[in-house]
Structure 1
Amino acid sequence: MRARPDSLFNLKKVLMNQPVSRSVSSQQQAAAPQSPQSPHAAGASGSPPRTFGSGHPPRIAIVSASWHADLVGQCRDAAVKGLEAAGPCHITHIHVPGAFETPLHALKLARSGQFDAVLACALVVDGGIYRHDFVAQAVIDGLMRAQMDTGVPVFSAVLTPLAFHEHAVHHQFFHEHLVHKGTELAAACVATLTSLRQIEALSS
């Protein structure tokens, strides 16, 4: 049986535990109710900023896991590229053994008073022995707690694939996907730092 043209795309969606979209006819689209446009939708007023704007260059720490460094490095490098494209900034790199070590380092960095934001990059995979989803949940909870306890934004690119294998097809897919996630990480950081500066200006 010949595979459908969109089968590889759907496979990629499933690998990252994302819902698989289904194509619909133009008649179905016309009949479907239209939801209000998000203020962050492309082309809408109030779109996320692409630059840091005025003020001192932000100081940003990036915590990167060494486990699967070849893939995590793609995410980190893409994030750095996105941050530098947004304007002058000071970036400090911290390397840790794995994802499990990122929350403590993020908390220490946030509490130091030396950084405006902390980014975490790591990959949590199913090793076949331990439940990787437990590790992933603990890491995300820890990163969230770090920012809520300190008031310093902490951004996560700690990714947990639904399935991960070392063979070439999977490796190439995750290589490209992590570059995309790094770009998203930088964009979220730029937008958040800008909005936090606006809030601080209102209260000053």
Structure 2
Amino acid sequence: MSVAEQQKIALIQSMWHHDIVDQARLGFTAEIVKLGHDESRLDFFQVAGAFELPLHVARLARTGRYEAIVAAGLIVNGGIYRHEFVSSAVIDGLMRAQLDLNVPVFSVVLTPHNFHDSVEHEQFFHDHFVKKGAEAARACTATLESLRNIES
């Protein structure tokens, strides 16, 4: 079965810092298409914030329509303990969804300790999300190929 004949891949992203996080979608899409996937097999979803990602990933996985799911978000440290709590909950939730539902989940959820609303930081993370989206596309393609080899 060719790559293009596989089930769909979902990318779900949080809306907080949308202009930055959206770069993950762009980087992922450009790279996954370059790797031979048909762009029409990609579905995109948005949620309010990173905390909402695990539930939506789990619901998408349960539909059976997706061979893999990519989650993207930016959890910034606003100087309060909530950063660590949210980061841990999101990453743990994504791993739990992957293991419980047997659908690969790829994280482009970044949790920097030192993010500031400045031109330099925004540009750095803008560019970094493109890179991380492309890395997720490569990891997704390699993982799906590996899993297919296990199953055959």
TM range (shorter): over 0.9
Q: Mark the CA change 1:100 to 1:55 in structure 2 (over 3 Å): closer, same or farther.
A: same
Q: CA deviation at 1:71?
A: 0.4
Q: Which residues of 2 match residues 103-122 of structure 1 at below 5 A?
A: 103-122=54-73
Q: Mark the CA change 1:199 to 1:134 in structure 2 (over 3 Å): closer, same or farther.
A: same
**Number of residue pairs matched by the alignment:** 150
Matched, 1:139 2:90: yes
Matched, 1:123 2:68: no
Q: 2: CA distance between counterparts of 1:55 and 1:93?
A: 17
1:71 counterpart residue number: 20
Structure 2: segments with no counterpart, 5+ residues: none
Q: Which has more strand, going by share of residues?
A: 2
SS at match of 1:147: helix
- Greater RCO (Cα-Cα under 8 Å, separation 6 or more): 2
Indicate which of 161, 168, 178 corresponds to 2:112.
Answer: 161
The alignment yields a C-alpha RMSD, in angstroms, of 1.5
Indicate which of 93, 96, 100 corresponds to 2:44.
Answer: 93
Q: CA deviation at 1:130?
A: 4.3
Q: Which residues of 2 match residues 2-17 of structure 1 at below 5 A?
A: none
Q: CA deviation at 1:55?
A: 6.9
Q: 2: CA distance between counterparts of 1:133 and 1:187?
A: 28
Q: CA deviation at 1:121?
A: 0.4
Q: 1: CA distance between counterparts of 2:110 and 2:128?
A: 10
Q: CA deviation at 1:53?
A: 5.1
- Which amino acid in 2 is paired with 1:183? A
Q: TM-score, normalised by structure 2?
A: 0.93
Q: Which has more helix, going by share of residues?
A: 2
Q: CA deviation at 1:146?
A: 0.3
CA contact (8 A) 2:7 2:65 kept: no
Matched, 1:81 2:35: no
Q: TM-score, normalised by structure 1?
A: 0.70
